[in-house]
Chains A and B, each alone.
Chain A
Amino acid sequence: MKDLQHITTFLDGVSRYFAHVSKDPKSLELGTPYLVRNHEQLGLDLTGAIAISGKTKGFVFFSSSRALLKYLLLSLGESEFTDQYMSDIVGEVANTISGNVRKTLGPEFHISTPKVICGHLDNDSLKPERLSYVLPLKWRGNTAQLIVSLDSIDARE
């Protein structure tokens, strides 16, 4: 039940973020969240990873196609789409969504600065004993995922 509350909070965070960058509410399509084992390959083109510490431990990832990041940069007034800008924005989205959930989960939900990963996520971030929730989304037809991998989601239960 606690997991479901967390996932709803993260879904709200995703909706809030994209509502701020787009005036068209129909531009965001949220898919159905699903659980995966961490040994499955996860991650799209670029991923912003936020380490979580405090009462809850784990990671929150915003993983995106380059196409979505390009549209995001455009909507924020940028005209450069280099790796530097793509990495910056994917980290900033992960940071913003993770930071916003503190309103519900409280100040003990400590977040790190973002680390950017290219391609599939590594074993350092995805502990094999854990499960992760994947929240798929499309924004302006382009794909991204929010991946929530917290110690409360334990595969051994």
Chain B
Amino acid sequence: MKLLIVDDSLVIRNKISRSLLSRFAKVERAENGRQALESAKKELPDLITMDLTMPEMGGVECIRHMVTVAPKAAILVVSALSDKHTAITALKYGANGFLCKPFTESDLQSAIEQVLKVAGQR
């Protein structure tokens, strides 16, 4: 399985990578939505963790394009934007789950399980 981590924070990319490294054969990283789309075209990831507030291209716009670039990828939004409106918008455009920052490793693992389960049922 391939994982793509999209977040403008190096520390968060590292944290997610360390937490999920054992579950994925390949881990790619992107700092914004534009880089994420380029990476996804080449790698066709199975799972994407997606921040929302990023420079150049934010997460919601990226998700809108991602559903055609990597239609089989499950998308977990990992964002500090904790309002219901944002979560609903991300899910409407194709995300499969939403994890609010700050998060623990256990929160992340549970959210990943849930998102892969939901995506597998599509």
Contacts and interface: CB of A to CB of B under 8 A. Distances in A.
Q: Is the interface of B mostly helix, strand, loop or mixed?
A: loop
B102 A85 contact: no
Contacts of A77: 14-15, 18
Given A20-B104, A98-B80, A99-B81, A113 B53 contact: yes
A20 B14 CA distance: 17
A111 interface: yes
B34 interface: no
Interface string B50-70: 000111000000000000000
B102 A102 contact: no
Interface residues of B, number: 23
Nearest to B18: A77
Given A17-B102, A91-B9, A96 B14 contact: no
B9 A88 contact: yes
A103 interface: yes
Q: B53, B101, B102: which has the most chain A beta carbons within 10 Å?
A: B102
Contacts of B53: 95, 99, 111-113
Given A88-B9, A88-B10, A113-B55, A76 B82 contact: no
Interface string A99-110: 110110011000
A111 B14 CA distance: 23
A40 B80 CA distance: 30
| Most B-side CB within 10 Å, residue of A76, A89, A113 | A113
A116 B7 CA distance: 17
B82 A102 contact: yes
Contacts of B8: 113
Nearest to B83: A102
Contact of B10 (A17, A84, A97, A99): A84
B47 to A, nearest CB: 21
A6 B97 CA distance: 29
Given A17-B102, A84-B10, A85-B11, A96 B86 contact: no
A20 B104 CA distance: 7
Interface string B12-42: 1011001000000000000000000000000
Contacts of B104: 20
B11 A99 contact: no
Contacts of A76: 11, 14-15
Contacts of B79: 99
Nearest to B13: A88
Nearest to A91: B9
7 contacts: A78-B11, A85-B11, A88-B10, A91-B9, A95-B9, A106-B83, A113-B8
